[in-house]
Amino acid sequence: MYAYDTLSEAINGLRERGFSVDFNLKENCLVCDNDNFHVDDFEIVEFHRFEGESNPSDQSIVYGIQSKDGIKGVLVSGYGISAEGISVAMAEKLRFSNL
């Protein structure tokens, strides 16, 4: 597994390794362009978590994701107090302690 000191280093490292699209998080799916990817449509290949010691808004996680049809991309999301409202199934899928 790769190790990065900053969120931007992680995103750049993933991009260099072919994770070229940006995924966005909706309540019960990921969205890329006009395509929706539900919980069973993708796998988390790797993730990198970043915590700010003094600023809660620095809490973020970047995922390297690959869809079942081979699309590789990046999802950046908050966690803790900055986590977004998502379905239980999506929360379970993205929960970093399951990896």
pLDDT tens-digit series, residues 18-67: 999 999 988 889 999 889 999 999 999 999 988 866 665 568 889 999 99
Rounded Cα distance between 54 and 1, Å, is 27
Burial of 54 (0-12, 13-18, 19+ CB in 10 A): exposed
Query: DSSP label at 34?
Result: T
- Residue 56 has a pLDDT of 58
The winner for highest mean pLDDT among 54-58, 75-79, 80-84 is: 75-79
- Residue 58 has a pLDDT of 62
Could you tell me if 93 and 44 are in contact, meaning their C-beta atoms sit under 8 angstroms apart? yes
Q: Give this prediction's pTM.
A: 0.84
